[in-house]
Amino acid sequence: MSTKLQVYCRGLLLVVFLGCGFLSVCQAGAGSADGAVLPPAPYGPVPSERQLRWHAMEFYGFLHFTVNTFTDKEWGYGDEDEKVFNPTAFDAGQIVSVAKAAGMKGLILTAKHHDGFCLWPSQYTEHSVKNSGWKDGHGDVVKEISLACRKQGLKFGVYLSPWDRNRKDYGQPGYITYYRSELRELLTNYGEICTVWFDGANGGDGFYGGAKETRRIDARTFYDWPNTWQQVRELMPNAVMFSDVGPDVRWVGNEHGFAGDPCWATLSPDGGFPGGEVKGLNSGQRPGTSWIPAECDVSIRPGWFYHASEDQKVKTPAKLLEIYYKSVGHGACLNLNLPPDRRGQINENDMRSLREFRRILDETFATDLAIQAKLTASNTRGGAKAFAPTNLTDSSRDTYWATDDAVRTPEVTFEWSQPVRFNVVNLREYLPLGQRVEAFALDQWKDGQWVEFARGTSIGNRRLIRGDYITTDRVRLRITQAPVCPALSEAGFYAEPLQK
């Protein structure tokens, strides 16, 4: 054999050898050089660390509180006498403890609503608590709520309305400098901020320093969002930013608390900024170009601010549960507004509703029936323990059941020695690998055969299926559509307490 041919043959052998190696890795979907089974490759857009922390919160609260609380309005005109802001018994500890008892993991305060009144003594405006009657102008609501949150272990976020009906310069470039100065105060003086909430409302008319006119701005260009977002990243890198289109968290498209079904965590904002037309807020888009999951914001009352006339219109525990299942249970986060009253506390009626809502949720999720079940999967990635179906029931979102790359529609059965009774199923995907499952179905073993009792599409951070009570000793979860092998971190079965 000539040397040339020898080299050629060796090269060919090498190609064949490497090719076989590559093929076997693909088939097992998981092999590494040292024999360890590798995790699946991520699919599509994946969440950032800060988004993962946000997903884990699931349920937090809004506090709408400002001059409107005292003028009985929803949108203050911006001409309010600062003296009207005068809570008679403001108690940040009470507000935070009510939120905490309800199961909220954080609170987002309207540091400034559309009226422009600042709940902290900003050095850049006179329209703030410093000119109010409250605490002789020495009070700071942002400080008190942020400290109470820290003390009780809740995260703290701020809402800073871009629309400002008080400012004379609203609509001119100087306003953007003002807005960023306010943001800087909030992001440098109050410790860690978990969320910066950018509202999308731009109603038009306002006081505007006495001009009392209608001002129209182009919301896509006027606010110069890229630079404001950049400022937030620099000052508070761990904070997520909410707006119609993210960049971290998107609006769900309504204020009823309902996420779509499906509700994908991905979206194609097309470089859109708040104020632009964005399609698919309620359901997300698949495939989307960015990971921008939805937040459902809704008030416990008809209005966002406290009105005594709405004391009898507080959402019932049943309504709050419906909202929870259609927000958190659709993979979104729930931001439930609790408006402090004129005392500066959460009203008793709201507390009563929240307590019962929490009691039902706690009782529901106290026992995961899946823990007692024997699990059998149609496939486990590389046969490895690291990806075993038991990862579905270890109460950790960091471990997951995954299959070989080629197995995209696997199933897992749960078998009990005695029949169990449940009406809620909980599923969770392992988010660092992207949203992978596109459809699934659930079957119960009934009269000697499998009978489907639920089917769904998106799972994402969490999918709660709530239906009729089922009694069975066997359940099967089928992944019916996925572009890649699934990676599921939780599957559980629960029984809601029967309503009193």
Q: How far is the CB of 87 from ligand FUL (least distance, A)?
A: 19
Nearest 5°: the CA angle 222, 227, 228 is: 80
Q: How far is the CB of 70 from ligand FUL (least distance, A)?
A: 16
Number of residues that bind ligand FUL (CB under 6 A): 6
- Written as one letter, the residue type at 27 is Q
Q: Is 297 in the site for ligand FUL (CB under 6 A)?
A: yes
Q: Is 396 in the site for Ca ion (CB under 5 A)?
A: yes
Choice between 322 and 368, CB closer to Ca ion: 368
Given the rule CB under 5 A, which of 39-47, 292-300, 407-415, 487-495 is the region that contacts Ca ion? Answer: 487-495
Given the rule CB under 5 A, which of 171-179, 208-216, 389-397, 470-478 is the region that contacts Ca ion? Answer: 389-397
- Residue of 80, 140, 144, 199 interacting with ligand FUL (CB under 6 A): 199
Q: How far is the CB of 241 from ligand FUL (least distance, A)?
A: 15
| Tokens 């008679």 sit on residue | 88
Given the rule CB under 5 A, which of 131-139, 319-327, 393-401, 413-421 is the region that contacts Ca ion? Answer: 393-401
Angle, helices 317-327 vs 348-365, to 10°: value is 60
Closest Cα partner for 315 from 338, 296, 331, 332? 338
Choice between 110 and 290, CB closer to ligand FUL: 110
Q: How far is the CB of 201 from ligand FUL (least distance, A)?
A: 4
Inter-residue contact 363 to 355 (CB < 8 Å) = no
Residues numbered 399-418 forming contacts with Ca ion, rule: CB under 5 A: 399
* Antiparallel, parallel or unpaired: β 249-251 and 240-243: parallel
Choice between 297 and 490, CB closer to ligand FUL: 297
Q: Is 201 in the site for ligand FUL (CB under 6 A)?
A: yes
Closest Cα partner for 434 from 488, 379, 372, 377? 488
CA–chain centroid gap for 125, Å, is 33
Nearest position to ligand FUL, beta carbon: 201
Q: How far is the CB of 379 from Ca ion (least distance, A)?
A: 17
CA separation for the pair 269, 179 (Å, rounded) = 24
DSSP string, 311-368: TT-PPPHHHHHHHHHHHGGGT-EEEEE----TTSS--HHHHHHHHHHHHHHHHHHT--
Closest Cα partner for 116 from 73, 163, 157? 163
Choice between 339 and 389, CB closer to Ca ion: 389
- SS3 assignment, position 307: coil
CA separation for the pair 380, 384 (Å, rounded) = 7
Q: How far is the CB of 145 from ligand FUL (least distance, A)?
A: 16
Q: How far is the CB of 309 from ligand FUL (least distance, A)?
A: 17
Given the rule CB under 6 A, which of 118-126, 194-202, 353-361, 362-370 is the region that contacts ligand FUL? Answer: 194-202
Q: Is 204 in the site for ligand FUL (CB under 6 A)?
A: no
Q: Is 489 in the site for Ca ion (CB under 5 A)?
A: yes
- Residue 15 phi/psi, 5-degree rounding, is -60, -45
Which helix or strand (DSSP H or E) is residue 182 part of?
helix 173-189
Q: Is 304 in the site for ligand FUL (CB under 6 A)?
A: yes
Q: How far is the CB of 130 from ligand FUL (least distance, A)?
A: 23
Residues numbered 7-46 forming contacts with ligand FUL, rule: CB under 6 A: none
CB atoms inside a 10 Å sphere around CB 7: 11
Inter-residue contact 43 to 429 (CB < 8 Å) = no
CA–chain centroid gap for 9, Å, is 58
Which helix or strand (DSSP H or E) is residue 183 part of?
helix 173-189
Q: How far is the CB of 414 from Ca ion (least distance, A)?
A: 14
Q: Is 244 in the site for ligand FUL (CB under 6 A)?
A: no
Choice between 222 and 430, CB closer to ligand FUL: 222
- SS3 assignment, position 216: coil
Residues numbered 43-102 forming contacts with ligand FUL, rule: CB under 6 A: 74
Residues contributing to the site for ligand FUL (CB under 6 A): 74, 199-201, 297, 304
Residues contributing to the site for Ca ion (CB under 5 A): 391, 394, 396, 399, 489
